[in-house]
């Protein structure tokens, strides 16, 4: 009797019990990026800022949405979206939020109050122990050390998995597999962050400038504001400076001295002496008196000088001087979509900024110039795809993102190339090593040119070959977009090098899109004019040209250009075609410059007067 009485309740209990979850591997890594080695198992009690990136709605329509407002042939050209419309269109579903939250609570026994939904709705985050993360993700965490500079990083080993019923709602989870193998400042605390970054963070600083050239006879030796204006017919007086805006992003501990602006302008633009950028500090960022002034000084002095004293220039200084910052730290400040694996978490547990993380609310400028970057292979496909989508979403609102293409030709910054799995192999890699985010179709990638020694400023430039080769090639993470298909197909048909199959991805997004001079800029650093080189110089130069185009459009009542790439490829005749030079790496000559678009100099360097005329004809 007792058994028969209890049986219905027992059967009901068994029906409600959840069976063991079938798991699926969500991300894998076959090998470590060049230079990284495991040194010890992570301490089980260490705290991780676990963050689950939720699948967003409508991302499969992102490119078509963008082409509707960015293709010159579209009737909706320049009719950009509001930020509210963007947020609502791509917000993850309530089903995704509920499914992931339930998994964290039930499988991870994480209390509901520990789980936070980000402002954008794109991330669920919780501080968990290493032991809790390992149980949730079916993996093991290790501390890794970089052989070249001793920096450390916490990551899981090989792969991680999630329950099958949750997988369809998850883009990626961090911190897990992603590494930054860029040139981070030696001696900085990097046990939890990977932020300051990549190839642009250390432009090449040469000797002192001993003679102040104000004419154009020596542009083959020293580049000045006057040289750039002459090279690119960049003659423009701003008219809509109160409506227009341009920003430059710098990543701590890179900094500058305000007094250097007066040294630079005192020599090259006297009317701008006393001018300063508008400072926007993100997540504890502040200017510091250290020796790392080259990048910030270069970028700001030339953007401010080229756009003129009436146009305000915004400096986005990202990250404190302990944690540093990263691209997503900046993007998070614009639209609230951070990734704590690559992006520092605040308050900082390592003694840095103790305030809250900025999540949206930073002012948006129409053009944003960034002279930093990673290699694609340092980051997972899921990570790069998600960040690329953020550039696209912000571009829908009318923003333009300009990035330098890199200073190592077709290889990584240390000469590292890829293996047959497209992962970094410093010793035996033979495949080309593309940069990020240049391979994202929603940013404009800028390569470098130079005036050939002995040539006049009126002579055709060549692909840069002194000091460094310009970054360029084909993405392994992103397919070729339609707007560049004709130009790239022509290059591959008539000028592609005869390398073994697999050396580069012939179907990938090709970069750079354009180029500008990148050799021997005269820059004021710590009171002294010095020569500075790199695609770090090319990006702010091209960004300044785009800002002037925006000013011209705004002055006649039109909208800014926003995502500019589709239009650039339709205006090939507005560029100075570069047909000489290459970008060697990986024991090859890389690619060669050629008539039309090429993976060394893109479409070429801008002819401002032709470009602005083309854009003014659009609605």
Question: What is the pLDDT at residue 566?
Answer: 98
Specify the 3-state DSSP secondary structure of 370.
Answer: strand
Q: Is residue 185 part of a domain?
A: no
Whether the CB-CB separation of 463 and 576 falls below 8 Å is answered with no
Q: How far apart are CA 423 and CA 378, in angstroms?
A: 8
Q: Is residue 390 part of a domain?
A: no
Residue with tokens 């005329």: 613
Angle made by CA atoms 259, 260, 264, in degrees to the nearest 5: 130
Q: How far apart are CA 181 and CA 199, in angstroms?
A: 10
Total count of domains within the chain: 2
Q: Is residue 343 part of a domain?
A: yes
Question: What is the pLDDT at residue 202?
Answer: 59
Please indicate, yes or no, whether residues 27 and 137 belong to a single structural domain of this protein: yes
Selection from 231, 317, 332 nearest residue 276 by Cα: 317
Please indicate, yes or no, whether residues 156 and 282 belong to a single structural domain of this protein: no
Q: Is residue 180 part of a domain?
A: no
Question: What is the pLDDT at residue 194?
Answer: 28
Helix orientation angle between 327-335 and 381-395, rounded to the nearest 10 degrees: 40
Please indicate, yes or no, whether residues 466 and 600 belong to a single structural domain of this protein: yes
Torsion 561-567-568-572 (CA) sign: negative
CB burial string 266-289: b at 16+ within 10 A, e below:
ebbbeebeebebeebbbbbbebee
Question: What is the pLDDT at residue 323?
Answer: 65
Please indicate, yes or no, whether residues 122 and 234 belong to a single structural domain of this protein: no
Q: Is residue 425 part of a domain?
A: no
Domain end position, chosen among 127, 154, 174: 174
Any idea which of 4-18, 55-69, 482-496, 525-539 has the lowest mean pLDDT?
Answer: 4-18
pLDDT level of residue 148 (50, 70, 90 thresholds): confident
Please indicate, yes or no, whether residues 112 and 154 belong to a single structural domain of this protein: yes
Please indicate, yes or no, whether residues 238 and 163 belong to a single structural domain of this protein: no
Selection from 256, 230, 38 nearest residue 145 by Cα: 38
Please indicate, yes or no, whether residues 475 and 582 belong to a single structural domain of this protein: yes
In the 8-state DSSP scheme, what is residue 398?
A: T
Domain end position, chosen among 151, 174, 197: 174
Residue with tokens 């805006």: 245
Angle made by CA atoms 106, 109, 115, in degrees to the nearest 5: 90
Please indicate, yes or no, whether residues 164 and 219 belong to a single structural domain of this protein: no
Question: Dihedrals φ, ψ of 419, to 5°?
Answer: -95, -170
Residue 8 has pLDDT above 70, yes or no: no
Q: Is residue 288 part of a domain?
A: yes
pLDDT level of residue 38 (50, 70, 90 thresholds): very high
Q: How far apart are CA 464 and CA 207, in angstroms?
A: 18
Domain end position, chosen among 174, 195, 223: 174
Task: Name the E strands within 406-461.
Answer: 417-418, 424-425, 435-436, 444-450
Selection from 287, 339, 358, 24 nearest residue 162 by Cα: 24
Q: Is residue 165 part of a domain?
A: yes
**Averaged pLDDT for residues 203-208:** 81
H helices within 345-442, ranges in order? 381-395
Residue with tokens 């391979």: 439
| Peptide bond before residue 347 is cis, with ω within 30 degrees of 0 | yes
Note the pTM of the prediction, 2 decimals: 0.88
Q: How far apart are CA 21 and CA 277, in angstroms?
A: 54
pLDDT level of residue 239 (50, 70, 90 thresholds): very high
Q: Which domain holds residue 43?
A: 21-58+87-174
Residue with tokens 């409600």: 16
CB atoms inside a 10 Å sphere around CB 243 = 13
Average pLDDT, the chain: 88
Please indicate, yes or no, whether residues 144 and 39 belong to a single structural domain of this protein: yes
Residue with tokens 């039109």: 558
Please indicate, yes or no, whether residues 516 and 568 belong to a single structural domain of this protein: yes
Residue 119 has pLDDT above 50, yes or no: yes
CB burial string 191-210: b at 16+ within 10 A, e below:
ebbbbbbbbbbbbbbeeebe
Please indicate, yes or no, whether residues 338 and 223 belong to a single structural domain of this protein: yes
Question: Dihedrals φ, ψ of 517, to 5°?
Answer: -55, 140
Q: 319 vs 407, which has greater pLDDT?
A: 407
Give me the torsion for CA of 497, 500, 505, 511, rounded to 10°. -30
Q: 191 vs 228, which has greater pLDDT?
A: 228
Please indicate, yes or no, whether residues 169 and 211 belong to a single structural domain of this protein: no
Question: Dihedrals φ, ψ of 616, to 5°?
Answer: -70, -25
The two tokens of residue 489 are: 């197909």
Q: Across the chain, how many H-helices and E-strands are there?
A: 15, 28
Give the residue numbers annotated as catalytic, written as ranges.
295, 299, 536
Question: What is the pLDDT at residue 21?
Answer: 61
**Averaged pLDDT for residues 123-128:** 91
Specify the 3-state DSSP secondary structure of 203.
Answer: coil
Q: Is residue 16 part of a domain?
A: no
- Find the CATH number of the domain harbouring 484: 3.40.50.200
């Amino acid at each position: 009797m007792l058994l028969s009485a209890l049986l219905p309740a027992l059967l009901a209990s068994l029906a409600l019990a959840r069976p063991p979850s079938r798991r699926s591997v969500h991300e894998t890594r076959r090998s470590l990026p060049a230079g990284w080695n495991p040194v010890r198992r992570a301490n089980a009690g260490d705290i991780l800022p676990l963050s689950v990136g939720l699948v967003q709605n409508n991302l499969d329509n992102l490119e078509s949405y963008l082409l509707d407002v960015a293709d010159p042939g579209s009737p909706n050209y320049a009719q950009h979206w509001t930020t509210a419309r963007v947020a609502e269109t791509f917000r993850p579903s309530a089903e995704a939020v509920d499914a992931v939250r339930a998994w964290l609570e039930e499988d991870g026994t994480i209390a509901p109050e520990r789980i936070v939904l980000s402002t954008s709705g794109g991330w669920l985050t919780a501080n968990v122990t290493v032991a809790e993360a390992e149980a949730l993700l079916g993996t093991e965490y290790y501390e890794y050390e970089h052989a070249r500079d001793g920096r450390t990083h916490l990551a899981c080993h090989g792969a991680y998995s999630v329950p099958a019923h949750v997988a369809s709602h998850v883009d990626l989870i961090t911190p897990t597999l992603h590494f930054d193998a860029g040139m981070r400042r030696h001696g900085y605390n990097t046990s939890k962050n990977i932020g300051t970054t990549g190839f642009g963070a250390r432009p090449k600083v040469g000797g002192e400038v001993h003679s102040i050239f104000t004419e154009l006879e020596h542009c083959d030796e020293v580049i000045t504001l006057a040289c750039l204006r002459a090279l690119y017919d960049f003659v423009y007086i701003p008219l809509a400076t109160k409506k227009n805006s341009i920003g430059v992003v710098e990543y701590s501990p890179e900094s500058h001295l305000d007094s250097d602006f007066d040294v630079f302008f005192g020599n090259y633009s006297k009317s701008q002496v006393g001018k300063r950028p508008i400072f926007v500090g993100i997540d504890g960022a502040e200017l510091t008196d250290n020796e790392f002034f080259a990048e910030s000084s270069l970028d700001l002095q030339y953007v401010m000088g080229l756009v003129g004293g009436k146009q305000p220039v915004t400096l986005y200084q990202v990250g404190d001087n302990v944690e540093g910052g990263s691209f997503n730290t900046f993007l998070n400040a614009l639209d609230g979509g951070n990734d704590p694996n690559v992006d520092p978490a605040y308050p900082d547990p390592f003694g840095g900024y103790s305030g809250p993380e900025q999540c949206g609310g930073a002012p948006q400028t129409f053009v944003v110039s960034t002279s930093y970057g990673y290699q694609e292979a340092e980051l997972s496909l899921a990570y790069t795809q998600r960040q690329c989508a953020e550039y696209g979403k912000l571009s829908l609102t009318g923003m333009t993102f300009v990035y330098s293409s890199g200073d190592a030709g077709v290889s990584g910054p240390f000469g590292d190339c890829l293996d047959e799995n497209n992962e970094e192999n410093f010793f035996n890699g033979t495949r080309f090593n593309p940069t990020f985010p240049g391979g994202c179709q929603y940013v404009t990638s800028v390569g470098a040119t130079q005036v050939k020694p002995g040539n006049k400023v009126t002579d055709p430039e060549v692909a840069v070959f002194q000091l460094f080769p310009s970054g360029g090639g084909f993405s392994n993470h992103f397919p070729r977009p339609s707007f560049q298909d004709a130009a790239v197909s022509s290059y591959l048909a008539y000028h592609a090098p005869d390398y073994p199959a697999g050396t580069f991805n012939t179907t990938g997004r090709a970069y750079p899109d354009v180029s500008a001079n990148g050799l021997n800029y005269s820059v004021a650093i710590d009171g002294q004019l010095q020569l500075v080189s790199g695609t770090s110089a090319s990006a702010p130069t091209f960004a300044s040209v785009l800002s002037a185009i925006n000013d011209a459009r705004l002055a006649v009542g039109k909208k800014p250009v926003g995502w500019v790439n589709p239009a650039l490829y339709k205006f090939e005749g507005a560029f100075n075609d570069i047909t000489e030079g290459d970008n060697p790496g990986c024991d090859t000559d890389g690619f060669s410059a050629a008539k039309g678009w090429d993976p060394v100099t893109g479409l070429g360097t801008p002819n401002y007067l032709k470009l602005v005329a083309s854009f003014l004809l659009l609605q």
